[in-house]
Amino acid sequence: MGQSPELLRRLLRAKDRMDGAPHEDWTVPRLAEVSAVSPAHFARAFKQAFGVPPHRYLLTRRIERATALLRETDLPITDIAFQTGWTSLGTFGRVFQDITGTTPTALRERTQADALRLQQVPECILRAAQRPDLTIAVSEKRLRKPVDITTPVSTELPNGEIT
C-alpha cells in the first residue's frame, strides 16, 4: 500500500530539514512535529518511504559531511566531529568506521597521500585520463544509419555478380 502524496510531502519536509542542518539534534519527536504526524507514525512512514529509519538517514548525512571536511580541510578531527553534530569523539570514530570501513584519520591520510601522488603526474596526463572516451565525433554518430539486422545484406562480387 502506497503513501498519500500529502504524507510524502510532509516526510520530505522533515528530510529536507535534516539535509539542511544535519549537525542539529533531530529526534523523532522533533521530526514528527515538522511533519505534523505522531512520532510512531513518522518513524514507520519515513522508513517505508525512504528505506531507512530517520536516525540512520541522519547518521549517513553526518558521515558524508564529515568525509568531505576530512578530505577538503585541515581541521582537527575533533572539530569536524563536533561540527557535524557528534557530542562524543569516540562515538563519531566508531560510527564513521562502521559506515565507511575506515577511521577518520586513515581516510585523511589516504586522501593526502593520493593528492601527493597526483601532484607528481603531469597535468596533461591527468586531463587525458579524465577525458571522455570518444573515438568518433558526435556529429558522425548522428549521421550513421542504424543497421537493420532483419534484412539480408547483399554484396557485389568483383565479377559483377550480387550475392
| pTM for the predicted model, two decimal places | 0.68
Write down the domain spans for the chain: 5-115
144: number of Cβ within 10 Å:
8
Q: Which DSSP letter does residue 152 get?
A: P
pLDDT digit string (tens) for 103-136?
Answer: 999 999 998 888 778 778 888 887 777 666 555 5
Evaluate if residue 159 carries a pLDDT over 90.
no
Give the model's pLDDT for residue 125.
80
Write out the three cell numbers for 67. 568525509
Pairwise CA distance, residues 26 & 54, whole Å? 9
Confidence of residue 2 (pLDDT cuts 50, 70, 90): confident
Whether residue 57 is predicted with pLDDT greater than 70 in this model: the reply is: yes
The pLDDT value given to residue 124: 82
Quote the pLDDT of residue 121.
81
* Distance (Å, whole) CA 13 – CA 33: 11
Confidence check: pLDDT of 155 > 80: no
Angle between helices 39-50 and 54-72 (to 10 degrees): 60
Structure-derived torsion over alpha carbons of residues 85, 87, 90, 94, reported in degrees to the nearest 10: -40
Q: Please check whether the domain covering 5-115 is classified as CATH 1.10.10.60.
A: yes
